[in-house]
Amino acid sequence: MKKFVDWLDNRTGGKALVHDALYENVPGGSRWRYVWGSTLTFALVVQFITGLFLWMSYSPSSQTAWESVFYIQNVMSGGWLLRGLHHFTAQAMTVLLVLHLMQVMIDGAYKAPRELNFWFGIALLLLVLALSLTGYLLPWDQKGYWATKVSTNILGITPGLGSILQRLVIGGPDYGHQTLTRFFALHAGVIPASVVGLLVAHIYLFRKHGLTPKRPLRKKDEAFWPDQVLKDSVACLAVLAAVLFLVIWPRLKDAHAPMGAELGAPADPSEAFSAARPEWYFLFLFQFLKYFPGTTEIIGAIVIPTIAMIVIFLMPIIGGWRLGHRFNLGFLGALLAGAMLLTYLAVHKDRNDPAYQVAVRDAQRNAERVRELATEGIPREGALALLQNDPVTQGPKLFARHCASCHRYDGTDALGRVPKEAAHASDLKGFGSHEWLAGLLEPAQVASSKYFGGTKFKEGKMVKFVQKTIAGLKPEDKAQLPKIIAAVSAEAQLPAQSEADRKDAAAIEEGRKLIDSETFRCTECHQFRKKNEDATAPELTGYGSSEWLKDFIKNPAQDRFYGERNDHMPIFGEGGRLDEKSLDLLVRWLRSQGARPHNGLTLR
């Protein structure tokens, strides 16, 4: 071994290099306050290692970026850990950068002759932030997509070359494949290479000028190895422990939550995303921009940050003046305090913004749903298609857009918001189910806002029938009512009730006869299973079935439904109000949700 080492040293001079590296003098002995540079180098090494392995499975294009990240995160073994380490180490780096900068400022390590090294350091800080910014887009989820759009738009308003740069960075007039390939090349190639170059220069200059010790020296001088190395590695271990804690944190809160970094729903250019926020360390800028409305935006986005950066760059020179060091410390302190205050304001505002909370919940729901769907395999056109063709995702949105101005879904607009106005039409949660029909035939409920309360039928025949005839039924007749409910509900062929319908076959058969009976007289107004020219109320044949619902929504004013009595319900089949695909998704959602599976009638 020794022979080999000597052989190698003879040809490389490596021993002297290692000796220089390890026995660098630390004036006044090792101290904890000197660890920040090392922790940053360690974090960067972690990013290079994890980034390289992520690279092996990542595929930058708008149909594969999210999909490959999904695959890494949820399918590949250890993928969640790898991605989690990369994601949270990036966050840790931002904190470490600030700590390193503060230590350098407070100890005066930025002043002559170390100006150049300070500037390298600031350049490194900006490059690391650029890595964060470019990395945020790569998973191509809603959050990254919409947040990054804002940053590139800000680039676009920069005077001079702004709009040209914007177009070059995103690879065209709009986001797409070229945006990802370019961001990826920046994130994994151009910027890391620049960081390495600058870091070598940074460390070289640091070694050349030596450490700037905190005076007065407390102990005698020591070598870098082993005391300072031990302190540095313990600090790095603490950073790693913090990162690992953040990786498993979601699981600590909720036993079923996925561990590691979040992955939202795939980017959807057609669906604005109001929960979009930049990473937390850019939140202060996001908040700052709010104070510069309209055309003054450029002042907040470009002018003031540029001035602040110029002052920071001039700090080594200012530091040479009388009181200059104090000014620098004051300026940096004010900057950090301001950033913290703005961050707090941004978080506080979001916490108290119900619309934002709804958007976040919606985003989480979509993210969870697409994870479920994608586990079964993603079509070639990408995971977005899974959500766009999914009734559970699209149904509530379509309901909120087209139906919720009159109807309700469990008292809400189906997206969790409660409209201020009272409902003008029935609550459609569980439409056609046993429960829903039982409520309709309940004298106390039929005229409530859940059924006819908001419509002109409040005073209509059906309400009177329920409130008088049904309320006044003899007990033995009333006992027949569940059969009628089962019979009408069976027409809907709801997936959730298929088991109940099968068990109730005999009761349903009886119920069908009762519909036409003297006691119940349903067919006096409703058409059921045979032609009835005089029918004035919606047909009960196929009531609530997919076909019935689609026909009804397309045109409720058909003779088989409400005819000319139709109360304000738009004819959705006309004027392109609702296309076939949307109608299908809406109806499939309405029929798949709300109805509870149960064991059929209990009276038999």
Q: Which residues in this chain contact another protein in the complex, by CB under 8 A?
A: 23-27, 42, 45-46, 49-50, 52-54, 56-57, 64, 67-68, 70-72, 75-79, 81-82, 85, 220-223, 225-227, 229-230, 233-234, 236-237, 240, 244, 374, 376-380
Closer of 67 and 362 to another protein (Cβ): 67
Structure tokens at 233: 């590695």
Closer of 83 and 526 to another protein (Cβ): 83
The closest alpha carbon to 88, from 134, 135, 143, 41, belongs to: 135
CB of 82 to another protein, least distance (A): 4
Q: How far apart are the C-alpha atoms of 38 and 146, rounded to whole Å? A: 34
Give the side-chain half-sphere CA count within 13 A for 97. Answer: 21
Closer of 229 and 347 to another protein (Cβ): 229
Q: In this structure, are residues 544 and 374 in contact, taking their beta carbons and an 8 Å threshold?
A: no
CB of 483 to another protein, least distance (A): 44
Q: How far apart are the C-alpha atoms of 390 and 373, rounded to whole Å? A: 9
Residues 6 or more apart whose Cβ sits within 8 Å of residue 261: 73, 83, 84, 86, 87, 88, 247
Closer of 376 and 534 to another protein (Cβ): 376
CB of 144 to another protein, least distance (A): 18
CA 60 to chain centre: 20
Residue reference for tokens 């039409």: 425
Closer of 85 and 127 to another protein (Cβ): 85
Closer of 58 and 552 to another protein (Cβ): 58
Q: Is the peptide bond before 113 cis (omega within 30 degrees of 0)?
A: yes
Closer of 81 and 470 to another protein (Cβ): 81
CB of 53 to another protein, least distance (A): 3
CB of 314 to another protein, least distance (A): 33
Strand partners, 400: none
- Nearest 5 degrees, angle CA 496-CA 502-CA 508? 105
Residue reference for tokens 């009628």: 484
CB of 410 to another protein, least distance (A): 34
CB of 35 to another protein, least distance (A): 12
Q: How far is CA 339 from CA 177, 196, 284, 305, 571, in A?
A: 34, 28, 5, 12, 54
CB of 78 to another protein, least distance (A): 3
CB of 30 to another protein, least distance (A): 10
Q: How far apart are the C-alpha atoms of 339 and 343, rounded to whole Å? A: 6
Identity at 85, one-letter amino acid code: L
Closer of 115 and 222 to another protein (Cβ): 222
Closer of 233 and 536 to another protein (Cβ): 233
Q: How far apart are the C-alpha atoms of 31 and 231, rounded to whole Å? A: 8
Q: Residue 356: which H helix or E strand, with range? A: helix 354-374
